[in-house]
Amino acid sequence: MTSFDDITDQLAGQSIELPSWAFGNSGTRFKVFSTPGTPRTVEEKIADAAAVHRFTGLAPSVALHIPWDKVDDYAALAQFAQDQGVALGTVNSNTFQDEDYKFGSLTHLDPAVRSKAIDHHLECLEIMNATGSRDLKIWLADGTNYAGQQDMRGRQDRLSDSLQKIYSQLGPEQRIVLEYKFFEPAFYHTDVPDWGTAYAQVAALGEQAAVCLDTGHHAPGTNIEFIVMQLLRLGKLGSFDFNSRNYADDDLIVGAADPFQLFRIMTEVVRGGGLKPSSGVAFMLDQCHNIEEKIPGQIRSVLNVQEMTARALLVDQAALTAAQEAGDVLGAHQVLMDAFYTDVRPDLAAWRETCGLPGDPMAAFAASGYQQEINDERVGGTQASWGS
């Protein structure tokens, strides 16, 4: 039997990267709501992310989105982050908002548009050089809306060629992580719709390319933990974008819609060695807080991941293997359910306090006065929002 004391070393090594854009205003195609205390600059986004880390000890890095987070001096931005107690992490490219990308970016028929998209990614690599970031994350809106609109095979060939040009400029410690999404904004076909397509593209690139798995980017009923297992087995799971979905890409707080799914995913991560630093797997959030407060939303998110990681680590692996080998269907299932139903929150609270952290980070943040402080200070100027 595994006890909570047996898993604290693994929990202590856990880190979850926060997205800078989660602290800006976001919404739907109907409305983006403004909220008090919303950052006006990337520095203020980083300061809010640092607050999440101070209260949880779980979020030591912040992902940037370019051009949303463009500044003149990235080395200075990295130093600012360090002064706040965090580091700059993954750099996310953006080839979905310019007029030129109406019919694609890295897959576009026009060589000039493809060149523009490639150059944007090379700019992201320069930013990574200045910030010390390891991963360039690429998500493409590329695809078509109607049968016959374009040649799908030709688009895959152009994607491969474009990615190779970017890959050839990676530094020795840098990686491309290619994200997939089965639809939206393209509704007939998406150029990188699934893990198989992403895997095929990154496998052709080489060892410094892997797949990013966004938990909201799958068709209803998809067994996401199977994909986790397979990519770990193939050595090509580069990163997670954690969030929750009820219908499509809802970008809700991770674990909110289906906590059992998050547990199953983390169980496969544990079994596949994905928690080990040597695995190279990066754990990140990719969420929007449309109606809830943003900093508490991020705190709740990283705590949800921590809680389900703890439960996954408590799975009695020996008992599970014995039941599986004996063909004990219900016995094997019960081993998982016993771990899932274990309430780890009291143990986590007590353990956090031994680490110098608040036992209840949500309550500690609420009592800190930080939210009221930024509400008062951040008056005037333009609030950051999705697409800013």
pLDDT in tens, 173-187: 999 999 999 999 999
Does pLDDT of 61 surpass 80? yes
Q: Contact at 8 Å (CB) between 163 and 205?
A: yes
pLDDT in tens, 246-270: 999 999 999 999 999 999 999 999 9
Does pLDDT of 1 surpass 80? no
Q: What is the pLDDT of residue 388?
A: 65
Average confidence (pLDDT) over 311-330: 98
Q: What is the pLDDT of residue 375?
A: 97
The residue whose two tokens read 């067994």 is 223
- CA 95 to chain centroid, in Å, comes to 18
pLDDT band at 65 (very low <50, low <70, confident <90, very high): very high
Q: Report which residue type is found at 110.
A: D
Q: What is the pLDDT of residue 264?
A: 98
Query: Quick one: CA torsion of 70, 71, 73, 75, rounded to 10 degrees?
Result: -50
Average confidence (pLDDT) over 31-50: 96
Domain limits of the chain? Answer: 15-314+359-377
Spatial separation of the C-alpha atoms in residues 322 and 270, rounded to whole Å: 18
Query: Quick one: CA torsion of 256, 260, 264, 269, rounded to 10 degrees?
Result: 30
The residue whose two tokens read 């000039």 is 112
Does pLDDT of 341 surpass 80? yes
- CATH class given for the domain over 15-314+359-377: alpha beta
| Residue 148 backbone class (left: φ over 0; alpha: ψ -120 to 50; beta: rest) | left
Q: What is the pLDDT of residue 28?
A: 86
Q: By C-alpha distance, which of 213, 152, 149 is closest to 180?
A: 213
Residues with Cβ within 8 Å of 204's Cβ and at least 6 positions away in sequence, in order, are 160, 164
pLDDT in tens, 182-214: 999 999 999 999 999 999 999 999 999 999 999
pLDDT in tens, 345-367: 999 999 999 999 999 999 999 99
| Residue 205 backbone class (left: φ over 0; alpha: ψ -120 to 50; beta: rest) | alpha
Spatial separation of the C-alpha atoms in residues 355 and 358, rounded to whole Å: 9
Spatial separation of the C-alpha atoms in residues 40 and 25, rounded to whole Å: 10
| pLDDT averaged over every residue in the chain | 97
Q: Contact at 8 Å (CB) between 316 and 335?
A: yes
Q: What is the pLDDT of residue 381?
A: 84
pLDDT in tens, 290-300: 999 999 999 99
State what percent of residues in the chain have pLDDT above 70.
100
- pTM value is 0.97
Q: What is the pLDDT of residue 72?
A: 98
pLDDT in tens, 105-142: 999 999 999 999 999 999 999 999 999 999 999 999 99
